[in-house]
Amino acid sequence: MPVKKEPAEMSAFERRRLENIAANKALLTDISATAKKVIPDKPTPKPAAKRKSRSEQIKRESARPTRMSSRLAGLDADNETLKRKMEVEAEFEAAKAQSKKMRIGDDLNLGDIVVDGKKYGSSVDGIKGIFRGAEPGVRTFSEEDIKETTDAGLKDLRLRMSSLKLYEHWAPNDIKITPQRVYALGFHPIEDKPIIFAGDKEGAMGVFDGSQTTPEVDDDDEDADIPDPVISAFKTHARTITSFVFSHTDANSVFTSSYDSSIRKMDLDKGVSTQIFAPQDANVDMPISALDVAPSEPNILYFSTLDGSVGRYDIRAPNSEEIWTLSEQKIGGFSLHPLQPHLLATASLDRTLKIWDLRKISGKGDLRHPALLGEHSSRLSVSHASWSAGGQLATSSYDDTIKIYNFSDAGKWSPGQNIDESALEPAHIIKHNNQTGRWVTILKPQWQQRPKDGIQKFAIGNMNRFVDIFASDGSQLAQLGGDGITAVPAVAHCHPSMDWVAGGNGSGKLCLWT
């Protein structure tokens, strides 16, 4: 008679994996249910014909950073600023050199691709990088600045924004939202609670529910451990995630772009991540540096690339992409005017801010592009160009400035109309240390999209380990910090409508102020 075998005891690793899957599913279900309050479900459409998957087995190549001597580059031996700038440029060239890494073409069931963040150590944990001009913990805007404010309205605004408190239930070092350095961040637009999405340099995505609280622990039990916060992590891209965009018509949809040349759509309700765009030729590498969607055109995706191009893609029409070469060098950031989506602003390694009109596209073949309305040059490369709903345009640059341009009359511009040269001069120039170097993600201004108080404001990381908040007139409103911040929260975002601010750092850790 055969001996009946007892079932083997479940390993700690398997138990942990199943716990992660259950936690991820619970969090996505919770976000999905809450999101439906923002945008109700639409009638179920007729099923579309399933697209054939492409084989995307791409030969891997090792990264070969572009090297150039200081002498050939025309740099003086003591010119540290330009040396650091060239290091950052070399990093982007290295990303392009990894062009043959495999993209993830098929649909991904998020329950099967969980990432246990606790098993990943950050390559920059513990690094005490020294950057020119950075003085960790030293404020450049303080309570004294608020007290000395004579304008009553500005003083009230500064008091309100400066009163935001750092999340109290876990220290920033305990909220490891991604395994590696945070490159992209985004708030889900729901207002019930802060839900933050983050993407890192290796294609992992983390989701944190800011309403979590620490469980009660017996004060008399000195050995009691406080559990880590629940963070859902998924490996959705093969390379760096560069942007999060939340659908304006479907609160369950989140778009992500990546250096792996793809754009994916995550369905929070179904728990599935689907590739919706990649180059038609699987051997073509087109690292995507930024992504944007206009509220009035929710099915049209715009993206920029490290090769200096901007593309447009209609998700309803496969193979509908149109690519325009707008710069000979990398476009690190761009944005559409929220209320005038035909206006597009690009920031480039060629040191320029350029404004384009999508209503007037001319030329043929590789020479086809939108009408260039005007451009403004900076001393060094421009990292990002961000439009506010009020028509202001903020840029950050390696010349250690934030520039704010006032285009509040942009709605009156005729198609292809050149911008007056005087209007292309910055209305406000803010001195700001933007020398991030190799270990800190590039600092970029990000506007609050729909401020309830009607005051246009943006967030940007501060090298002294703060997040700065500025108004459209260049006035600083707050410098957010707190105990336990041990690295620069370089990737900073405001919630679209609530007074919530988040920042991600080079160790994959999250800071949250509410």
- Measured on CA atoms in the order 426, 330, 186, 85, is the torsion positive or negative? negative
CA-wise closest residue to 432 among 393, 483, 394, 482? 394
Q: What is the pLDDT of residue 400?
A: 97
Which of residues 238 and 51 earns the better pLDDT score?
238
Max mean pLDDT range (34-48, 126-140, 449-463): 449-463
Q: Please report which confidence band the pLDDT of residue 37 belongs to, taking 50, 70 and 90 as the band edges.
A: low
Q: Please report which confidence band the pLDDT of residue 304 belongs to, taking 50, 70 and 90 as the band edges.
A: very high
Distances (CA, A) of 407 to 348, 361, 363: 20, 21, 27
CB 154 within 8 A of CB 175: no
- 330 pLDDT more than 50: yes
> For the sheet containing 401-406, what is the strand order?
382-387, 392-397, 401-406, 428-431
- Measured on CA atoms in the order 292, 296, 299, 300, is the torsion positive or negative? negative
CB 97 within 8 A of CB 61: yes
Any residues with CB less than 8 A from the CB of 84 and at least 6 apart, and which? 132, 435, 437
pLDDT tens, position by position, 185-226: 999 999 999 999 999 999 999 999 999 998 876 666 666 677
Rounded-to-integer distance, Cα 383 and Cα 350, Å? 10
Mean pLDDT along residues 479-496 = 97
Mean pLDDT along residues 297-326 = 94
Q: What is the pLDDT of residue 29?
A: 74
CA-wise closest residue to 460 among 199, 191, 140? 140
- 18 pLDDT more than 70: no
- 60 pLDDT more than 60: no
- 115 pLDDT more than 70: no
Q: How many Cα neighbours within 13 Å face the side chain of 223?
A: 0
Any residues with CB less than 8 A from the CB of 446 and at least 6 apart, and which? 386, 458, 459, 460, 492, 493, 494
Q: What is the pLDDT of residue 38?
A: 56
- 67 pLDDT more than 80: no
- 106 pLDDT more than 90: no
- 92 pLDDT more than 90: no
Q: What is the pLDDT of residue 219?
A: 61
| pLDDT, mean over the chain | 84
Residue 509 CB-density burial (10 A; 0-12 exposed, 13-18 middle, 19+ buried):
buried
- 412 pLDDT more than 60: yes
Q: Please report which confidence band the pLDDT of residue 111 belongs to, taking 50, 70 and 90 as the band edges.
A: low
Q: Please report which confidence band the pLDDT of residue 228 belongs to, taking 50, 70 and 90 as the band edges.
A: confident
- 91 pLDDT more than 70: no
In this predicted structure, which of 53-62, 337-346, 472-481, 498-507 has the lowest mean pLDDT?
A: 53-62
Max mean pLDDT range (99-108, 218-227, 266-275): 266-275
Q: Please report which confidence band the pLDDT of residue 124 belongs to, taking 50, 70 and 90 as the band edges.
A: very low
- 44 pLDDT more than 50: yes
H-run or E-run covering 277? strand 272-277
pLDDT tens, position by position, 135-154: 898 999 999 999 999 999 99
Supply the DSSP string of 410-429, one letter for each residue.
GGGPPTTPPPPGGGGS-SEE
Rounded-to-integer distance, Cα 264 and Cα 255, Å? 6
Q: Provide the 3-class DSSP secondary structure of residue 185.
A: strand
- 373 pLDDT more than 90: yes
pLDDT tens, position by position, 427-439: 999 999 999 988 8
Q: How many Cα neighbours within 13 Å face the side chain of 452?
A: 8
Q: Please report which confidence band the pLDDT of residue 280 belongs to, taking 50, 70 and 90 as the band edges.
A: confident
- 8 pLDDT more than 80: no
Any residues with CB less than 8 A from the CB of 391 and at least 6 apart, and which? 337, 339, 340, 406, 407, 408, 409, 410, 411
Residue labelled with tokens 């070092």: 173
Encoded amino acid at 96, one letter: K
Q: Please report which confidence band the pLDDT of residue 126 belongs to, taking 50, 70 and 90 as the band edges.
A: very low
Q: What is the pLDDT of residue 157?
A: 96
φ and ψ at residue 332, rounded to 5 degrees: -85, -25
Rounded-to-integer distance, Cα 183 and Cα 240, Å? 7
In this predicted structure, which of 109-123, 259-273, 285-299, 373-387 has the lowest mean pLDDT?
A: 109-123
